[in-house]
Chain A
Amino acid sequence: MTTVQEHKSGGMGRDVIIYVCLLVLAAIQFVIAYQNIDASRMLVRMLAVAIVEAGLALLFFMHLSENRGLKWFVLIFTVAVILGMQYGWTDSFRLIDGVPWAK
């Protein structure tokens, strides 16, 4: 049975694979930037790739996958805070388009 400490001081194989995956995902973001699509679609695609990148970095580079309690603590708090910031988007559309019922 391997302990966490033994795993930590083990080889670099998995880390190199994650590193290559991150490079590929970053490259995908650059490819998306040159696609002939509207900004909102581009944003969604790029953010989806960025979230996968962040997940890989958190789970493997920052070793969150090795501590279940900490993983959920970080995830719940961070997601809750970020979601809480999304309440104002409708206002940003209203600023440029005006209120829909005024048209």
Chain B
Amino acid sequence: MSQADLTMQGHSTGAMAPPTFSVPAKKMAMWLFIIADTATFAGCLVAYGFIRNSTPDWPRPFHSITNVALMTFILLTSSLTMLIGVKSAQKGDKAGAFRWTIFTAVLGIAFAVLHLREWMGMIGEGATLFHNPWGTPLFSSLFFSITGLHLLHVTGGVIALIAVGIRYRGGRYKADDLEITGLYWHFVDLVWMFVVPLVYLLNLAH
């Protein structure tokens, strides 16, 4: 067996160190990105909590949870469809993997559309990044910043899913690449699990 064969199989040949935690380099890079991005979102949410805690008469403008519940359902379902896509790819079912990946992207687009519809409703009521009709302008600034950052991640994820899905179907990318994109998509879902209670549910009008 040649040194190149050993390297391809992930064995240490002396010339190359074994991968960290036996995780391929590309996957490890995604995990490092996820850790860094977790710090970004945690920083935003902690700042939000700090400001909310220190601001008297914090507004509670949300009257309905229907839209955010539907968005949560769509995003959680998209994580399942992503898993099905990755499993299909690992079984060698290229058509199935592509179909489920694109379906995941479509769910991501549906999430983004619902999100934008909600934004337009709030903007229609006079809420902007620097103005809030229900009280302190800090509420609007934080709401649009945090949900905007998440929406940016969803948009990036949709683009990545479509691009990687097409390249996987064309044979340029492997099942591992689809799995790495899936990691990112699950992370976007994971962040939403914290955004919903902190930014929406705690600001529900009673």
Contacts and interface: CB of A to CB of B under 8 A. Distances in A.
Interface string A29-59: 1101110100100110011011001100110
Contact of A15 (B46, B56, B80): B80
A95 B53 CA distance: 9
Contacts of A8: 87, 90
B95 interface: no
A9 interface: yes
Nearest to B46: A85
Contacts, number: 127
Contacts of B148: none
Contacts of A82: 38-39, 42, 46
Interface residues of A, number: 48
Contacts of B87: 8-10, 12, 15
B69 A69 contact: no
B197 A46 contact: yes
* Interface size class, chain B: 35 or more
A50 B21 contact: no
Contacts of B145: none
B160 interface: no
B43 A85 contact: yes
Interface in A62-94: 62, 67, 69-70, 73-74, 77-78, 81-82, 85-86, 88-89, 91-93
Interface of A: 5, 8-10, 12, 15-16, 19, 22-23, 26, 29-30, 32-34, 36, 39, 42-43, 46-47, 49-50, 53-54, 57-58, 61-62, 67, 69-70, 73-74, 77-78, 81-82, 85-86, 88-89, 91-93, 95-96
